[in-house]
Amino acid sequence: MKLAQRVGRIQPSPTMAMAARAKALAAQGIDVIDFGVGEPDFDTPDPIKDAAIAAIKAGFTKYTPPSGTDELKQAIIRRLETDQGLRYQPNEVVVSCGAKHTLYNLAQALFEHGDEVLIPAPYWVSYPDQVLLNDAGPVIITTRVEDGFILDPRQFESAITPRTKALILNSPSNPTGAGYTRGQLEPIAEVALRHRVIVISDEIYGQIVYDGFRHISIASLSPEMKALTVVVDGVSKSYAMTGWRIGYAAGPAPLMTAVANIQSQSTSNPASISQKAAVAALNGPRASIERMVAEFASRRNEMVRRLSAMPGVSCFQPQGAFYAFPNVGSLYGRRHNGTVIAGSQSLANYLLEEARIAVVAGAAFGDDRHIRLSYATSLDKIRKGLDRMEAALAKLK
Ligand SMILES: Cc1ncc(COP(=O)(O)O)c(C=O)c1O
């Protein structure tokens, strides 16, 4: 069977592949501690579940408008206004089956052969592949830990060519946890406006921030920047709702109409029941988010402290999200029992085999000198897993 060429350009999501390997070992009865997953270990809060149950009981089980219910769009609009001072109309909002789907729809609506899309590295694994699936070319701009993994506006400007269509910005970032301050966003916005580069602003971790850090949307900097930005968000991470599959985008009406049309010819609406649950999440009290964030904060502190204390490892202090992204490059070239640590993937393999912990190789995020560990798991497991990691690293000579 001859498959379409685009299929050959992409790989399965490496984070999902590592999760599958860890689950397969666990199914054989092997005690694996999973630092690979990108989802909160908390259960979806009860009021959100109750709203979904009520929706089923009330027979809210039919098609909705393809781009989402008006009720959910209003809840999204209210949140964007409360949190960021951004004002949108319902025809500027589209609800999709998770933020990954939102980003894919945007790529479909915006990119074509010959377009270049700028992606700061380290990046979330799906950005380059979604660009490739839509016939455009990802252009990777490397950021440095010395700059807090923040995109340097001069580097951004020098990467722009007549073919540049968009920049994909992710704050707080998966995998680094770096969050952009207003002062860091302003010069980036200036460059984007000067060259008319659309900004796809992935803000899915915007509510999971620490030490008083305040998430700022680049769209909120000026009306001109709002007109050039699509804000992407969703309920998966902030409300522990990964399985419900609700993401959304807010942006200029012509683009959002195109996204709605694409969705009406592909998936139609996201699940009606999940939409009701998302309304309850977005309109509901903030206490459960605050509880989860406080718990993530103490896990982050423990994980970063322990990683930083390991010989040969240094770890950036994340401002948001729930990942640590330590630099392990100085361990490369070391060996144990004939296994040579040649890079991040071989270190991830070694840690799975020797320490029974699952981590994701930094190479998947465009930075081979790092590995990613999710701290969306209990403090107990963090302590146990890092003890094992420390012991396994000590064996490398
Ligand atoms: C940076 C980033 N964007 C988007 C997503 C997609 O989230 P979902 O499709 O569950 O809404 C993820 C999930 O891992 C992510 O880390």
Say yes or no: CB of residue 100 within 6 Å of ligand 1.
Answer: yes
Say yes or no: CB of residue 38 within 6 Å of ligand 1.
Answer: yes
* Sheet strands (E) in 243-303: 247-250
Q: At residue 218, what is the residue type? A: I
Say yes or no: CB of residue 307 within 6 Å of ligand 1.
Answer: no
pTM of the model: 0.97
CA angle at 135 for the pair 132 and 137, rounded to the nearest 5°: 60
Class of domain 5-43+288-394: alpha beta
Q: At residue 84, what is the residue type? A: Q
**Ligand 1 pocket test: which of 94, 95, 97, 100 has the largest number of ligand atoms within 8 Å of its C-beta?**
100
Distances in whole angstroms, Cα of residue 364 to Cα of each of 14, 101, 128, 206: 6, 20, 10, 23
- The CATH fold assigned to 62-283 is Aspartate Aminotransferase; domain 2 (3.40.640)
Distances in whole angstroms, Cα of residue 258 to Cα of each of 67, 105, 142, 264: 11, 9, 31, 10
For each of the chain's 397 residues, which pLDDT tens digit applies? 999 998 998 887 777 778 888 888 889 999 999 999 889 999 999 999 999 999 999 999 999 999 999 999 999 999 999 999 999 999 999 999 999 999 999 999 999 999 999 999 999 999 999 999 999 999 999 999 999 999 999 999 999 999 999 999 999 999 999 999 999 999 999 999 999 999 999 999 999 999 999 999 999 999 999 999 999 999 999 999 999 999 999 999 999 999 999 999 999 999 999 999 999 999 999 999 999 999 999 999 999 999 999 999 999 999 999 999 999 999 999 999 989 999 999 999 999 999 999 999 999 999 999 999 999 999 999 999 999 999 999 999 9
Q: Start-end ranges of CATH 3.40.640.10 in the chain?
A: 62-283
Cα of 98 from ligand 1 centre, angstroms: 7
Beta carbons within 8 Å of 161's beta carbon, 6+ residues apart: 116
Cα of 233 from ligand 1 centre, angstroms: 8
Cα of 397 from ligand 1 centre, angstroms: 37
